[in-house]
Amino acid sequence: MRLITEALAKRGAPVNVALIGCGWWGSGVAKYLFRTDNMHPRLLLDKDIEKCLGLYRACGISRDRILVADSPKALDRTATCSCIAMADISLLETRPKLDIDVIHESTGEVLAGAQTALFAIENRIPFTTVNSEMDATVGLVLAEKARQAQVIYTNTDGDQPGCLARMLDDITRWGFEPVIVGNNKLFLDHYQTPEGVLPWVPKGGNPHMMSAAADGSKLSLELCVVANAYNYPPLKRGMYGPEIKKPDIIKTFDRLAGLSRLNGGHIDYTLGSTEPDMGGPVFVIARTDDPRLKAEMKHYKKGSGPFYLFFRDHHLGSIEAPATIAEAVLFNSAALSPRVWCADTIPLAKKDLPAGKKLDLMGGCDYYGLAEKVDSLSQQEILPIGLAEYATLKQDIQKDRIITRNMVDLEDNLAVRLRKEQDRMVSAPEHPNR
């Protein structure tokens, strides 16, 4: 963080950030940006304009400093205001140059995330996101478009994928080979609903998103983001997810998966409280046969090897996100972006579902998600969970059955078209997946 602080101080002008989505995560990022010297949330965009205005007020911005951009003509006045509030994402396309240095997207919606990413790429604005729902659905094709445009596309520090990426960067640089990369999940109920999680939804939070966390869909999506950035597929559908304590993590995964037989890294998770009062841990089991490394690890009380546990007992959400946002602008650096497509999160029915039903939102009452190796189902069969809300069932589906693409009719929208483009890209003979 010291390098970021120094680079911001030398830059001579603040990094102007556009925040897309002002819910629980986005509001936190805005507040921490206001506390960070030489970073400024210039634009707040949310479907509910009052969220933008209320957030600016909470950060001490007076109303006369805020431009409410509700039409293309209103955007002509941006030079006179230091802060912009907007509700319509399509307005960005009418005036893309709003003195914005970087976009941070946190809507949690696949379609809105894809629209924002494409806008950023087409206008060569660095794009950072915490939207694993979008990233684990169409991230590869968007990352490729960003690479061709020579602009940053990256997931974000603070949530589990970004925290694991930081750990993996260190661990591999030190000379270790990751074999299991995972999250800790305190609670899991595949049949949870938005109504059931209401007592735990924070102010400004989203019950569907909380339910998606409780039913395991979000866990799977986050780990698929990591899988596709590092080519670390799950070992089996749904992963193992043992309920264990921290001292037993290595021996339990060795018993379940045979660590010495594994080729490359794989995603998985643990269930329950691995340690007292842990705040969303992430972990990596990594291997080395290097005698010097093993001697060092034994000296520092990390065991005799060849497998070692690297454990971070927290992720701090939006508190940590400004680091990725700054790095994208200052160093043209991405925390993690997909480079292959080895894992998808697939939907399974939470209950018996009738033909003709339009599926509800992720985290709703219709389906939950499990991580799956892409080569376990053909690319034509996979209905990524991120597209399920755009699907209508063509047949009855029994509880716990996988919902595949041939069972549904899909809407025609940007997210669906991007996924079709991505599937063609992954199937091409020259792609790394082949």
In this predicted model, what pLDDT tens digit does every residue of 149-189 receive, in sequence order?
999 999 999 999 999 999 999 999 999 999 999 999 988 99
- 3-class state of residue 403 by DSSP: coil
Indicate the CATH number for domain 2-159+319-330.
3.40.50.720
What span, in angstroms and rounded, lies between the C-alpha atoms of 217 and 362?
8
Beta-ladder partners of 13: none
Cβ–Cβ contacts within 10 Å for residue 162, how many? 26
CB-CB contact of 28 with 41 (8 Å): no
Question: ∠ CA 398-399-400 to the nearest 5 degrees?
Answer: 115
Q: In this model, does residue 49 exceed pLDDT 80?
A: yes
The count of C-alpha atoms lying within 13 angstroms of the C-alpha of 253, restricted to the half-sphere facing its C-beta, is: 31
Confidence label for 32 from pLDDT (cuts 50, 70 and 90): very high
CB-CB contact of 393 with 407 (8 Å): yes
Q: In this model, does residue 95 exceed pLDDT 90?
A: no
Tokens of residue 79, six digits: 């030079």
| Alpha-carbon distances of 169 from 145, 164, 316, 394, rounded to whole Å | 24, 9, 19, 45
* pLDDT-wise least confident of 89-103, 163-177, 215-229: 89-103
What span, in angstroms and rounded, lies between the C-alpha atoms of 267 and 179?
8
Mean pLDDT score, 376-386? 81
- The contacts of residue 191 (CB under 8 Å, 6+ apart) are 215, 350, 351, 368
Confidence label for 197 from pLDDT (cuts 50, 70 and 90): very high
What span, in angstroms and rounded, lies between the C-alpha atoms of 1 and 185?
28
- The pLDDT value recorded for residue 375 is 84
Alpha-carbon dihedral 169, 173, 177, 179, rounded to 10 degrees: -10
Q: In this model, does residue 434 exceed pLDDT 60?
A: no
Q: What percent of the chain has pLDDT over 90?
A: 85
The count of C-alpha atoms lying within 13 angstroms of the C-alpha of 209, restricted to the half-sphere facing its C-beta, is: 18
What span, in angstroms and rounded, lies between the C-alpha atoms of 205 and 218?
15
Question: ∠ CA 195-199-203 to the nearest 5 degrees?
Answer: 105
| Alpha-carbon distances of 19 from 100, 173, 305, 319, rounded to whole Å | 10, 33, 45, 15
Q: What are residue 120's phi and psi, to 5 degrees? A: -60, -45
What span, in angstroms and rounded, lies between the C-alpha atoms of 426 and 434?
7
Mean pLDDT score, 281-295? 97
Alpha-carbon dihedral 283, 290, 230, 267, rounded to 10 degrees: -40
Confidence label for 89 from pLDDT (cuts 50, 70 and 90): confident
Q: What percent of the chain has pLDDT over 70?
A: 98
Per DSSP, which regions of 272-342 are E strands?
Answer: 282-287, 307-312
Mean pLDDT score, 113-117? 96
- The pLDDT value recorded for residue 180 is 98
Confidence label for 94 from pLDDT (cuts 50, 70 and 90): confident
Q: In this model, does residue 7 exceed pLDDT 90?
A: yes
- The pLDDT value recorded for residue 65 is 92
- 3-class state of residue 368 by DSSP: strand
- At position 96, the amino acid (one-letter code) is P
Q: Does domain 343-427 have CATH number 2.70.70.10?
A: no
Tokens of residue 41, six digits: 């949330």
| Torsion sign (Cα): 428, 431, 433, 434 | positive
280 vs 245, more confident: 245
- 3-class state of residue 289 by DSSP: coil
Q: In this model, does residue 204 exceed pLDDT 80?
A: no
- The pLDDT value recorded for residue 379 is 62
**312-364 residue pLDDT tens:** 998 999 999 999 999 999 999 999 999 999 999 999 999 999 999 999 999 99
Annotated domain spans of the chain: 2-159+319-330, 167-187+216-315, 343-427
Q: In this model, does residue 419 exceed pLDDT 70?
A: yes
Mean pLDDT score, 68-88? 90
Prior bond to 306 cis, omega within 30?
Answer: yes
Q: In this model, does residue 281 exceed pLDDT 90?
A: yes
- The pLDDT value recorded for residue 210 is 93
- The pLDDT value recorded for residue 418 is 98
Beta-ladder partners of 393: 408
What span, in angstroms and rounded, lies between the C-alpha atoms of 354 and 351?
10
Confidence label for 30 from pLDDT (cuts 50, 70 and 90): very high
- The pLDDT value recorded for residue 382 is 86
| Most trustworthy range by pLDDT among 72-86, 215-229, 366-380 | 215-229
- The pLDDT value recorded for residue 238 is 97
| Alpha-carbon distances of 369 from 133, 137, 171, 332, 344, rounded to whole Å | 11, 12, 29, 33, 9
- The pLDDT value recorded for residue 376 is 67
Closest CA to 108 of 238, 182, 215, 207: 207
